Amino acid sequence: MDEDVVAWLERWYQAHCNGDWEHRSGIRIETLDNPGWHVQIDLEGASMADKPFAQPDAGQGAAADDWMYCDVQNGVFDGYGGPRQLGAILHVFQEWCARFPSRDMPLSPEQQDLIDARESIERVRRVLGRENGPERCRADGCERLHVAHSVFCGDHHIANLQRVGALPVISVDGVRVLRRADD
Ligand SMILES: [Zn+2]
């Protein structure tokens, strides 16, 4: 995302304010006497609350002031860093959010597409229901039973819909729309 990180954080904050969240939760940015910065972002009620967080490398090491430490504990993002690391801390939070796009945060058009695509596939999967058979899926070599409303298992039914352009196609790693559905 190329958007300025402060503008992005403003939009993230605004997207979470719903008349309730902002009374219990918020974002705090303060200075430390180290000296440095401390950024604290409450995640309770946010989609990021249950997402895995990998700590970034602890600073670039070019100068003593470059140190940075970020972690997520008990539903709170905490970022600490040297005097010139405020932007870097916010960037860590932004990058983390970008890995788990959801409707409660600022989205790029590509992320919006991805969420739409996931939801349309999930919707079909719910309608298809469970693979109860009793016959096996009609696809060659598939060992699974068919779903109630198709002669195929869920995956093969969805693959067929994707082949004819009725459903979007998402990359295997799940982070990109390879082909949108035909309108
Ligand atoms: Zn199958």
Rounded distance from Cα 121 to ligand 1 centre (Å): 16
Mean pLDDT of the chain: 91
Query: Same structural domain for residues 70 and 13?
Result: yes
Q: Which of 56, 77, 99 is the last residue of a domain?
A: 99
Which amino acid belongs to residue 160?
A: N
Report percent pLDDT > 70 for the chain.
95
Query: Same structural domain for residues 159 and 127?
Result: yes
Q: Which of 77, 99, 121 is the last residue of a domain?
A: 99
Rounded distance from Cα 129 to ligand 1 centre (Å): 14
Q: What is the DSSP string of 25-52?
A: --EEEEEETTTEEEEEEE-TTSGGGGS-
Reduced to 3 states, what is the DSSP secondary structure of residue 162?
helix
Rounded distance from Cα 134 to ligand 1 centre (Å): 13
Q: Find which of 12-16, 17-21, 39-43, 94-98 is predicted with most confidence, using mean pLDDT.
A: 39-43
Q: Which of 99, 134, 155 is the last residue of a domain?
A: 99
**Tens digits of residue pLDDT in 61-91:** 556 778 999 999 999 999 999 999 999 999 9
Query: Same structural domain for residues 133 and 91?
Result: no
Rounded distance from Cα 61 to ligand 1 centre (Å): 52
Query: Same structural domain for residues 113 and 55?
Result: no
Rounded distance from Cα 75 to ligand 1 centre (Å): 40
Rounded distance from Cα 151 to ligand 1 centre (Å): 9
Residue 104 within a domain: no
- Expressed as residue numbers, the domain containing 31 is 3-99
Residue 42 within a domain: yes
Confidence of residue 172 (pLDDT cuts 50, 70, 90): confident
Query: Same structural domain for residues 95 and 116?
Result: no
Cα separation, 15 vs 29, whole angstroms: 19
Query: Same structural domain for residues 27 and 89?
Result: yes
Rounded distance from Cα 136 to ligand 1 centre (Å): 8
Query: Same structural domain for residues 114 and 134?
Result: yes
Rounded distance from Cα 109 to ligand 1 centre (Å): 33
**Number of domains within the chain:** 2
